[in-house]
Amino acid sequence: MDAPRSLFDKIWARHVVLRREGQCLLYVDRHLVHDGSFHAFANLERRGARVRRPRQTFGTPDHYVPTLSRSPADAATPEIRRMVETFAVNVTKHGVSAFELSDERQGIVHIVGPEQGITLPGLVLVCGDSHTSTHGALGALAFGIGQSENEHVLATQTLWQAPQRTMRISVEGRRPDGVSAKDVILAIIASIGAGGAVGHVVEYAGSAIRSMSIEERLTVCNMSIEAGARAGMVAPDDTTFSYLAEKPFSPKGAEWDRALKYWKTLPSDSAARFDSEVSLEAGKIEPMVTWGTSPENALPIGAVVPEGPQRALEYMGLAPGTRLEGLSVDRVFIGSCTNSRIEDLRAAAAVARGRKARVPAMVVPGSGQVKKQAEAEGLDRIFREAGFEWRHAGCSMCVGMNGDLGRPQERIASTSNRNFEGRQGKGARTHLMSPAMAAAAAVAGFLTDVRKL
C-alpha cells in the first residue's frame, strides 16, 4: 500500500522531470504571460532563445491596459501605451496563444485562465504574477514566479523548485447570509497572519469550501499569497467538473473522459498528512473590512480600529477606537482578479439596484466575457443608473499600473487584494472588502454592514 498522499503530493510527483541536490526540475503544463512579462521576453531574446512550447503558453494584456476603451491610444501615458504594444509584439513574434486587447476573450489573466478552460485539475500552472494562486481553485498547482523564472519556463517549459510544506485550512459549517467568499479568506488571513503560510502550499477543505461555487473558490485561492502561501488549492469535485465541461480549451470527447477519470484520483487521501492544520468555523465569520496596510489587518465591520502599528494608523488616517462602520469613503473600486467575475458583479449589482452612489464608484469586469455576460443580464444598466462607471476589463485600480489611481489621502472601498501603502496610488488609503460591501459603501458614502441595507 502506497503512503497516503495529498492533492499537492500527487500533482508534484507527476511533474518531476529529475532531481538534483534537493531541487526538482518540475514540468510546467501551462504558462500564462501578460503585459508585465516584458523583462522575461527581453532576456530570452538577449540569449537568442525561443519559446519552447508556444501552445502551452497563453497571454493576455491586463496590468497596463486602458479601461475606458480597447484602444492602446487611450493608455494614460505613452510609456504605458508602449507596454501594451510591446506585449502584442512579443506574443506575435513567439507565436504564443494570445487574447489581445481587441479580442473579447481578453481580461485579467487569472480570470481568463479558468474561464477558458486553460486551467485544469492536476496541471502545474505558473505566471509572473503572485495572484496565480487563484487557479488552484480548480485543483491545479498554480503559483506566481519572477521574471527570471518566467524566462526559464519560456525557454524550457520547466522550473527548479524545492518541494514546499503543506497546510490544510478547513472551514466547516454554513456561512451566514451576507457573508461571502471574500469574507472567508479575509477571516483566514486575519487568523493566521500575512506570513502565516510562508513556505507552504495551502489546501482549503471543509464543508464551507466544498459548498462554494468555483468562482467563490477562485476568490479564496486568489488571496492565498496574502497569507504568504505561494499556492492555494481546492480538491477537484463535481462542481469543478461541471464548471469545466464545454469550456473552450477543456479536453473534449474521449480525452475528457480520460482526463475526468484521472482528475477523480486527485483529491487528498483521507489519511494524507499535512505539515500544519488550521480550522475555522464558517458560522462565526462576518462581513470583513481591513483597517490597516496589511491584508491581515481585517476585522468584522462592527469592530473598532485596534491599537496597531503607528505607521499603518498614520498612513490610514485612523485612530484606535474609531468605529469602522460609518467611516466615510471617497471612492469605490469593484474589480481585480479577486472579485471581478460574474457572481461578484451580480452581488454588487443587487446592492446598487435602485440606489445612488454617493461617491465616485467604478466597476471593472475581469474579462471581456464577464463584461458581455453582465451586459446580457442588464447589470451594466443597473450600475449606470446607480451612478457607477462601467469600464472595460483589466487590472485597473487594484494596482494602478494603467493609470487608474486613487489620490493621496483618498479613502477607497475596494474589492481588490492588497491594502499596501501606495498600492492604489501614492498616499491612497485602501479598505478591502467584498463586492456587496463595496457597493454598500458606494451607496451609503461610508463603510456599512451590507446586511443592514
Partner 1 sequence: MAEQFTSLTAIAAPYEPLNVDTDQIVPARFLKFPRKDGYGKFLFHDVREEPDFVLNRAPFDQARILVANANFGCGSSREGAAYAFHDAGFRAVIAPSFGDIFYANCMKNGIVPVRLPDSECASLRKILEKNPGTQITVDLVAQEVRETGGRTHRFAIDAFYREMLLKGVDELGLTLSLLPEIEAFERAYAREAPWAVR
- Residues 40 and 73: their CA atoms lie apart, in Å, by 25
Nearer to partner 1, 23 or 328 (CB): 23
Residues in 345-374 at the binding interface with partner 1, rule: CB under 8 A: none
Question: What does residue 397 show for φ and ψ, rounded to 5 degrees?
Answer: -80, 5
Residue 183 makes contact with partner 1 by CB under 8 A: no
Residue 253 makes contact with partner 1 by CB under 8 A: no
- Residues 97 and 109: their CA atoms lie apart, in Å, by 13
Residue 29 makes contact with partner 1 by CB under 8 A: yes
Residue 55 makes contact with partner 1 by CB under 8 A: yes
Helices and strands (H and E) in the chain: how many: 15, 19
| Smallest gap from residue 187 Cβ to partner 1 (A) | 18
| Smallest gap from residue 164 Cβ to partner 1 (A) | 8
Longest dimension (CA), the chain: 63
Residue 4 makes contact with partner 1 by CB under 8 A: no
Among 10, 230, 371, 411, binds partner 1 (CB under 8 A): 230
- Residues 146 and 129: their CA atoms lie apart, in Å, by 7
Listed ranges 122-130, 277-285, 332-340, 349-357: which one lies at the site for partner 1 (CB under 8 A) = 122-130
| Smallest gap from residue 68 Cβ to partner 1 (A) | 19
Residue 62 makes contact with partner 1 by CB under 8 A: no
| Smallest gap from residue 275 Cβ to partner 1 (A) | 15
Residue 203 makes contact with partner 1 by CB under 8 A: no
C-alpha cell at 437: 460591501
Residues in 32-51 at the binding interface with partner 1, rule: CB under 8 A: 36, 39, 42, 47, 49
Q: Say how many residues touch partner 1, by CB under 8 A.
A: 71
Nearer to partner 1, 145 or 342 (CB): 145
| Smallest gap from residue 146 Cβ to partner 1 (A) | 4
- Residues 231 and 262: their CA atoms lie apart, in Å, by 21
List of E strands, 216-294 = 231-233, 276-281, 288-290
Residues in 375-434 at the binding interface with partner 1, rule: CB under 8 A: 399-401, 418, 420-423, 426
| Smallest gap from residue 293 Cβ to partner 1 (A) | 9
Binding mask 140-179 for partner 1 (x = CB under 8 A): ----xxxxxx-xx--xxxx-x-x-x---------------
Determine whether 451 is exposed, middle or buried from the number of CB atoms within 10 Å of its CB (0-12, 13-18, 19+): middle
What DSSP element (H or E) covers 316?
Answer: helix 310-316
Residue type, 321: G
Task: Report which of 105, 103, 99, 93 is spatially closest to residue 154, judged by C-alpha positions.
Answer: 93
Among 53, 273, 381, 451, binds partner 1 (CB under 8 A): 53
Residue 64 makes contact with partner 1 by CB under 8 A: yes
Helices (H), 193-252: 207-210, 214-222, 238-244
Residue 268 makes contact with partner 1 by CB under 8 A: no
Residue 307 makes contact with partner 1 by CB under 8 A: no
Residue 116 makes contact with partner 1 by CB under 8 A: no
Nearer to partner 1, 183 or 421 (CB): 421
Among 11, 33, 34, 56, binds partner 1 (CB under 8 A): 56
Nearer to partner 1, 88 or 194 (CB): 194
SS3 state at 175: coil
Question: What does residue 401 show for φ and ψ, rounded to 5 degrees?
Answer: -70, -20
Q: What does the angle CA 181 – CA 368 – CA 381 come to, to the nearest 5 degrees?
A: 80
- Residues 444 and 441: their CA atoms lie apart, in Å, by 5
How many CA atoms lie within 13 Å of 75's alpha carbon, on the beta-carbon side? 19
